[in-house]
C-alpha cells in the first residue's frame, strides 16, 4: 500500500501525463479524446494545485457545445485512428467534431465548487453561466419525461454497460450495422469490457442518430431506446440547484430554474420502484422499471431527494463486498465484479455518493465510504475501476478521474469533503 504523499504525487503526475493542452484524456490509448464528465472531474483534480488549469478544462469542454445547447460526450480534438467509433461514424453537427449524445451534467455543480474555492474567478464562472443554462434547457426540452430525465444511448449515462440496459436491448434488433473492429479490447482484456451483443446495439443506436442528423424531435418519436435514468435525473437536478445559487450571486433570474427544480423533484418519483425498494431506470418504451439497484441509485442524496429511503439498501450493499459501492447489486443475477459497469467500484461515483450522504447528515456513512475508497486506491493504484471483492484494478490504468478524485476528495492530505465546506 502506497502512503498518501506518494499517491498525491502520482495523481498529479497522471493529470500531467494525460493533459493535452486545455483538456485531458481519460487515459492514453483506450480513451484518446476529451470526455465530458471525465473532464469535469479532472478540473476538480487540477484545482488542488493549478486553479487556472481547472477552469480551462471546463472552458475547453464548452467550446464544443452545439447550437441547440447540447454538450457532447466526446470531443474529437485530434483524430486518432486507434479509437472506434470515431467522428466519421458519429457525424456530429457542433463546432468541434464530436459524438451526438451528451453525458451526466455535473458541470454546474463543479463550477460552483470551483468558484467557492476561487472567488476571484467570478468572471470565468459568469462566462460559463449562459452555456450551462443552455445545456440544462436542452435536457429539459428534449430529455424530459414528466421531470424524469431520459437517455437515448447507454453511453450517455456514463454507466455504459450496466444491467439496466439488458431489457431495453432485448427489444432491439441491430439491423444494418456494418462489420467493425473493436479497439477497446486491444487495451483491456475482453472479460472487463462489454460483450459484442451489447456493442452491436450501441452502434445501431449511433447509426440511428447519425442518419437523422441528430434530430432530437425525430429520435424522441422513433428511437427504441428511451430510458429514464437516475444518473441523469439526479445529476441534472443537483446541478440545477447549484446553477440557482450561481444565478442568485450573479443577479440572474431564477424563475426558470425554480420550475425545473420542482419538475425534477416530482419526476424523480417516476424512478422510485416501490416493489424493489430502490430508485432505478424506467424504460419509457416498455413502460416498466428495470429492477436494478446500482450505484446510481445512491445519488438520491446528492440530488436532495428521497430522504432516508435508500439507507437500508446502502447498508446492505456496503456489507456485501470488501470495497464498495459496487456498480451493480452483488445479489443481482447479472452482477459481474470485473466487467465494465456490471459490478466494479468506480471512485468518482463514490465521491458523488459520499458528498450526498454527508450533505444529508449521514456523515458517518460518508466518512466510512471516503476511507474505504482511500484504502482501495492507495492499495491498488489509479485504475479506471476496481473489483469490489478484492480491489483488483481493472479497465484502463493511470486514469484521470481516479487521480482527480483522489486529490480533490480521498487524499487525507489534499482532499476536501464538500459537505463540510
In 3D space, the residue among 40, 43, 44, 46 whose CA is nearest the CA of residue 73 turns out to be 40
Neighbours of 308 (CB within 10 A): 12
Q: How far is CA 312 from the centre of its chain?
A: 24
Q: Which of 48, 280, 283, 384 is flagged as catalytic? A: 384
Q: What are phi and psi of 19, to 5 degrees?
A: -75, 130
Question: What is the Cα–Cα distance from 218 to 54, expressed in whole angstroms?
Answer: 37
CA distances from 291 to 25, 72, 262, 281, 306 (A): 34, 29, 26, 8, 17
Active site residue 384: yes
Q: Which of 80, 160, 263, 265 is flagged as catalytic? A: 160
336: which 3 cell numbers?
A: 459481474
Helix or strand (DSSP H, E) at 25 = none
Question: What is the Cα–Cα distance from 367 to 253, expressed in whole angstroms?
Answer: 36
Is omega for the bond preceding 8 within 30 degrees of 0, making it cis?
no
Active site residue 275: no
Handedness of CA 232, 234, 239, 241 (dihedral sign): positive
Question: What is the Cα–Cα distance from 389 to 124, expressed in whole angstroms?
Answer: 43
Q: Identify the bridge partners of residue 98 per DSSP, sorted by sequence position.
A: 75
Using the CB atoms, write b or e for 364-391: b if 16+ within 10 Å: ebbbebbebbbebbbebbbbbbbbbbeb
In 3D space, the residue among 256, 274, 309 whose CA is nearest the CA of residue 130 turns out to be 256
Give catalytic residues, as residue numbers: 160, 384
Amino acid at each position: 500500500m502506497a502512503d498518501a504523499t506518494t499517491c498525491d504525487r502520482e495523481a498529479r503526475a497522471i493529470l500531467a501525463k494525460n493533459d493535452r493542452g486545455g483538456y485531458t484524456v481519460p487515459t492514453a490509448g483506450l480513451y484518446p479524446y476529451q470526455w465530458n464528465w471525465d473532464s469535469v472531474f479532472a478540473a476538480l483534480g487540477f484545482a488542488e494545485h493549478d486553479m487556472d488549469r481547472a477552469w480551462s478544462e471546463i472552458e475547453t469542454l464548452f467550446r464544443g457545445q452545439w447550437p441547440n445547447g447540447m454538450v457532447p460526450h466526446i470531443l474529437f480534438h485530434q483524430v486518432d485512428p486507434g479509437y472506434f467509433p470515431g467522428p466519421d461514424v458519429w457525424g456530429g453537427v457542433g463546432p468541434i467534431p464530436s459524438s451526438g449524445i451528451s453525458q451526466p451534467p455535473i458541470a454546474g455543480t463543479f463550477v460552483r465548487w470551483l468558484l467557492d474555492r476561487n472567488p476571484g474567478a467570478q468572471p470565468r464562472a459568469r462566462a460559463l453561466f449562459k452555456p450551462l443554462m443552455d445545456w440544462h434547457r436542452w435536457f429539459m426540452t428534449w430529455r424530459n419525461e414528466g421531470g424524469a430525465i431520459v437517455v437515448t444511448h447507454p453511453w450517455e449515462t456514463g454507466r455504459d454497460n450496466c444491467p439496466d440496459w439488458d431489457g431495453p436491448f432485448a427489444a432491439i434488433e441491430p439491423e444494418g450495422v456494418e462489420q467493425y473492429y473493436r479497439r477497446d479490447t486491444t487495451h483491456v482484456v475482453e472479460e472487463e469490457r462489454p460483450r459484442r451483443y451489447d456493442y452491436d446495439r450501441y452502434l445501431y443506436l449511433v447509426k440511428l442518430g447519425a442518419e437523422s442528423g441528430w434530430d432530437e424531435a425525430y429520435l424522441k418519436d422513433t428511437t427504441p431506446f428511451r430510458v429514464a435514468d437516475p444518473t441523469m435525473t439526479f445529476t441534472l437536478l443537483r446541478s440545477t440547484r447549484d446553477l440557482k445559487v450561481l444565478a442568485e450571486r450573479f443577479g440572474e433570474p431564477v424563475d426558470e430554474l425554480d420550475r425545473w427544480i420542482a419538475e425534477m423533484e416530482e419526476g424523480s418519483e417516476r424512478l422510485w420502484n416501490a416493489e424493489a425498494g430502490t430508485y432505478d431506470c424506467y424504460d419509457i418504451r416498455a413502460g416498466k422499471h428495470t429492477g436494478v439497484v446500482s450505484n446510481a441509485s445512491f445519488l438520491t442524496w446528492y440530488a436532495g431527494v428521497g430522504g432516508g429511503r435508500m439507507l437500508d439498501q446502502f447498508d446492505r450493499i456496503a456489507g456485501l463486498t470488501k470495497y464498495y459501492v459496487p456498480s451493480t447489486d452483488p445479489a443481482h443475477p447479472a452482477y459481474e465484479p470485473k466487467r465494465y459497469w456490471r459490478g466494479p467500484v468506480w471512485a468518482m461515483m463514490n465521491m458523488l455518493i459520499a458528498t450526498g450522504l454527508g450533505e444529508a447528515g449521514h456523515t458517518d456513512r460518508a466518512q466510512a465510504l471516503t476511507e474505504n475508497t482511500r484504502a482501495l486506491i492507495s492499495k491498488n493504484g489509479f485504475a479506471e475501476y476496481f473489483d469490489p471483492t478484492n480491489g483488483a484494478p481493472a479497465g484502463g490504468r493511470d486514469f484521470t478521474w481516479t487521480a482527480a478524485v483522489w486529490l480533490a476528495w480521498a487524499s487525507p492530505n489534499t482532499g476536501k469533503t464538500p459537505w463540510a465546506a
